[in-house]
């Protein structure tokens, strides 16, 4: 599938303000700074669509983008960002969790994981939460361009080994890079199949 046009539609604080549920929707979630907004830009071939930053905590709202007038991409605030007040963080997290749990037209959640670091408790717990709510998700290992490919493979193997300790079925996972566009075709064909 190729994308002809992607447009910013709306930023919402919470689910009640999101656009109508008339089109299939795909959301990107993961720790702050993992590369969610960059990945949306990579998929849509538009570096300026979603706002990115070297500093964590950039995306603070639920951002809807409409693609070819047929489906939505959703950029979400990252979790685990320490530099805002506890109260503020709890509010984002509550709004994001409610959105993920209740949004009727959400077809798939892409959970982004930094390919460079060992499995993090916060990511593993988030996966458990998704599974407990029976929400469908795919893992996307990000920033693969930053490591040698053998190192990426070693890290992914370690990740799978960690998951096997508590998961019977390992979630579907892809390697990605917003720099060199690794994973773009695969993600777009997944989305295309689901649409
Ligand atoms: P929040 O909105 O704060 O939650 O962050 P985010 O997950 O949206 O991350 P964002 O896309 O803003 O990227 C964070 C930083 O990582 C930026 O400096 C990006 O340029 C960089 N980055 C993101 N993806 C990649 C990638 O695939 N490769 C490399 N080398 N850098 C990346
Ligand atoms: Mg962002």
pLDDT digits (tens, 9 = 90+) for 119-161: 999 999 999 999 999 999 999 999 999 999 999 999 999 999 9
From the CA of 49, how far away is ligand 2's center (Å)? 11
Which residue's alpha carbon is nearest to atom 17 within ligand 1? 54
Quote the CA–CA distance of 177 and 141 in Å, as a whole number. 8
From the CA of 170, how far away is ligand 2's center (Å)? 26
Instruction: Please report the atom of ligand 1 found closest to the CA of residue 60.
Output: 2
From the CA of 121, how far away is ligand 1's center (Å)? 20
Which residues have any ligand 1 atom within 6 Å of their CB? 32-38, 52-54, 56-59, 77-78, 142-143, 145-146, 177-179
pLDDT of 82: 67
User: Are the C-beta atoms of residues 9 and 19 closer than 8 Å to each other?
Assistant: yes
Mean residue pLDDT across the chain: 94
The ligand minimizing its distance to the Cα of 175 is 1
Kindly compute the dihedral angle of the four CA atoms of residues 163, 169, 170, 172, in this order, to the nearest 10 degrees. -160
pLDDT at 59 over 90: no
pLDDT at 182 over 90: yes
Which residue's alpha carbon is nearest to atom 31 within ligand 1? 143
pTM of the entire structure?
0.96
At how many degrees (to 10) do helices 149-164 and 121-132 cross? Answer: 50
Instruction: Please report the atom of ligand 1 found closest to the CA of residue 75.
Output: 8
Separation in Å, CA 103 to CA 23, 76, 77: 11, 13, 16
User: Are the C-beta atoms of residues 152 and 175 closer than 8 Å to each other?
Assistant: yes
């Amino acid at each position: 599938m190729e994308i002809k046009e992607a447009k910013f539609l709306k930023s919402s604080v919470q689910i009640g303000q999101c656009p109508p549920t008339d089109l299939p929707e795909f959301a990107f979630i993961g720790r702050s700074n993992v590369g969610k907004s960059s990945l949306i830009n990579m998929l849509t071939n538009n570096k300026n669509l979603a706002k990115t930053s070297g500093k964590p905590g950039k995306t603070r709202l639920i951002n809807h983008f409409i693609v070819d007038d047929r489906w939505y991409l959703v950029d979400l605030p990252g979790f685990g960002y320490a530099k805002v007040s506890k109260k503020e963080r709890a509010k984002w997290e509550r709004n994001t969790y409610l959105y993920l749990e209740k949004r009727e037209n959400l077809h798939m959640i892409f959970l982004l994981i930094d390919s460079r670091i060992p499995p993090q408790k916060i990511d593993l717990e988030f996966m458990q939460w998704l599974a407990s709510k029976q929400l469908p998700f795919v893992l996307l290992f990000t920033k693969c361009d930053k490591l040698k490919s053998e190192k990426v493979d070693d890290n992914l193997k370690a990740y799978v080994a960690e998951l096997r300790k508590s998961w019977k079925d390992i979630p579907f996972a892809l390697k990605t890079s917003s720099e060199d566009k690794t994973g773009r075709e695969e993600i777009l064909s997944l989305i295309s199949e689901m649409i």
